[in-house]
């Protein structure tokens, strides 16, 4: 099943550059995923292509207007004849994690709306049944980077995207813990040797070592993961 990701943004050139790079580019070339950027200003109805306005109630900054975003979402639905899952990048949303990425990778069509300024008009969230998604407890100038992070995390989980699908099982968070330390050649570097077990050829011992090291690192760096 091919996944389609449509991204509504004020900076489509950022998305196009991302879509033409590394794993995402390979997935597109193999026709496993489609990523398309839509310029939000194209859905503005005035001569100035206005997409933002001052917030009701006062306060600093600007808010993205509801009409252009709503038109963009409805246009995408019409041309694709689908009912996509709509995500809105926002610091007010649920924090994105591997479980959410796995769930989204099962979808056939996703629309990502990139927030900007002080956010988007709340009526867009309600009318488009949008799910607000955050990538962490910090602020960026816009939602393009979060959208690209979400898109790549989803894409790499699609079957046949990665050259070695077994590598997913060694990723941090795949088993809800961090991944183990990794080593490559040379065997000795600056007086530090690769752990002997990794060069033993004993796959049972290697698996056991990796599990222990993954747990040790999780307890040291992210003990909160073990409480979930």
pLDDT tens by residue, 82-113: 999 999 999 999 999 999 999 999 999 999 99
With respect to residue 160, please indicate whether it lies within any of the assigned structural domains.
no
With respect to residue 161, please indicate whether it lies within any of the assigned structural domains.
no
Of the candidates 91, 126, 155, which is a domain's last residue?
155
Higher pLDDT, 50 or 227: 50
Number of domains in the chain: 2
* Domain containing residue 188: CATH number: 1.10.1270.20
Mean pLDDT of 142-161: 96
Considering the domain architecture, whether residues 92 and 7 belong to the same structural domain is answered as: yes
Query: Which positions ≥6 away from 220 have C-beta within 8 Å?
Result: none
Confidence (pLDDT) at 100: 96
For residue 3, the surrounding DSSP H or E stretch is strand 3-9
Note whether 165 and 174 are within 8 A (CB). no
Domain that holds residue 191: 174-227
Note whether 19 and 37 are within 8 A (CB). yes
What digits encode the pLDDT tens for the residues 117-144?
999 999 999 999 999 999 999 999 999 9
Considering the domain architecture, whether residues 133 and 207 belong to the same structural domain is answered as: no
Considering the domain architecture, whether residues 145 and 44 belong to the same structural domain is answered as: yes
Residue 56 scores a pLDDT above 90: yes
Q: What is the dihedral of CA 219, 145, 136, 67, to 10 degrees?
A: -150
Mean pLDDT, the chain, whole residue set: 93
* Domain containing residue 82: CATH number: 3.40.1280.10
Helical packing angle, 22-29 and 12-19, nearest 10°: 70
With respect to residue 168, please indicate whether it lies within any of the assigned structural domains.
no
Query: How are beta strands 109-113 and 3-9 bridged, if at all?
Result: parallel
């Amino acid at each position: 099943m091919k996944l389609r990701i449509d991204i509504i943004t004020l900076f489509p050139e950022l998305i196009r550059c991302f879509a033409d790079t590394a794993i995402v580019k390979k997935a597109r070339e193999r026709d496993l995923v489609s990523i398309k950027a839509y310029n939000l200003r194209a859905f503005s109805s005035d001569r100035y292509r206005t997409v933002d306005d001052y917030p009701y109630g006062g306060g600093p900054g600007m808010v993205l207007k509801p009409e252009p975003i709503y038109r963009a979402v409805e246009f995408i639905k019409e041309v694709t004849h689908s009912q996509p899952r709509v995500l809105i990048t926002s610091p007010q949303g649920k924090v994105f994690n591997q479980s959410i990425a796995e769930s989204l990778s099962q979808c056939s069509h996703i629309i990502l709306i990139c927030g900007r300024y002080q956010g988007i008009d709340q009526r867009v969230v309600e009318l488009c049944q949008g799910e607000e998604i955050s990538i962490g407890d910090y602020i960026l100038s816009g939602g393009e980077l979060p959208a690209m992070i979400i898109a790549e995390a989803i894409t790499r989980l699609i079957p046949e995207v990665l050259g070695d699908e077994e590598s997913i099982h060694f990723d941090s968070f795949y088993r809800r813990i961090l991944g183990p330390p990794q080593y490559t050649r040379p065997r000795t570097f600056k007086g530090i040797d690769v752990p002997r077990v990794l060069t033993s050829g004993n796959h049972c011992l290697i698996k056991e070592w990796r599990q222990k090291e993954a747990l040790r690192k999780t307890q040291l760096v992210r003990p909160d993961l073990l409480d979930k």
